[in-house]
Structure 1
Amino acid sequence: MRITDRIQKHVSENRTGMVYDLVFAIVWVSAVSFLFESVFTSAPTWAFYMFMLAGIPAYFGFFISLNLAREQES
C-alpha cells in the first residue's frame, strides 16, 4: 500500500474527528490571541504560552465531557 493510499484511508476514516480538532484549535488560538492583544496587553510572554498550552487539557476536558453528556442522554 502506497503512502498516499494510507493517508487517504486514514483521512476518510477520521474525517469528522479531524475537522472537530481543527475547529477547536482555531477557536482556542484565536480566543487566546484576542485576549492577549486586547485585554492582557502588558502580560508577560510566558503567560501567553501557558494559556496556549492550557488548550491541551481544555481540548480533552471538552471532548470527554461531551462524550459523557451523549452517553447520559441515551
Structure 2
Amino acid sequence: MSLADRLREHVAEHRSGMVADLAFAVVWVTVVSLLFEVVDGPQWAYYLFMLAGVGAYFAFFWSLRVAREQQ
C-alpha cells in the first residue's frame, strides 16, 4: 500500500475529527489574537494564552465525551 493510499484511508476514517480539531484551533487562535489586539497585553501573556489552547482543547473534547456518555 502506497503512502498516498494510507493517507487517503486515514483522512476518510478520521474526517469529522480532523474538521473539529481544525475548527477549534482556528477559533482559539482568532479569539486570542483579537483579544490581544484590543487589550495590547505583553507578548509573554499572548504566548501563554496560545499555549493554554492545548489544555483547553483536551478539556473541551473530554467534556464532550463525558456529556455524550451521560445521555
Q: TM-score range by the shorter chain?
A: over 0.9
| Structure 2 residue identity aligned to 1:11 | V
| Structure 2 residue identity aligned to 1:53 | L
Which structure shows the higher helix fraction?
A: 2
Q: What percent identity do the matched residue pairs reach?
A: 59
Equivalence for 1:30: 30
Distance 1:11 1:59 in 2: 20
Q: CA deviation at 1:44?
A: 1.1
CA RMSD of the aligned region, Å? 0.5
Normalization by structure 1: what TM-score?
0.94
Equivalence for 2:67: 69
Query: What are the ranges of 5 or more consecutive residues in structure 2 without an aligned counterpart?
Result: none
| Structure 2 residue identity aligned to 1:17 | G
Distance 1:19 1:61 in 2: 18
Query: What are the ranges of 5 or more consecutive residues in structure 1 without an aligned counterpart?
Result: none
Q: CA deviation at 1:57?
A: 0.5
Equivalence for 2:12: 12
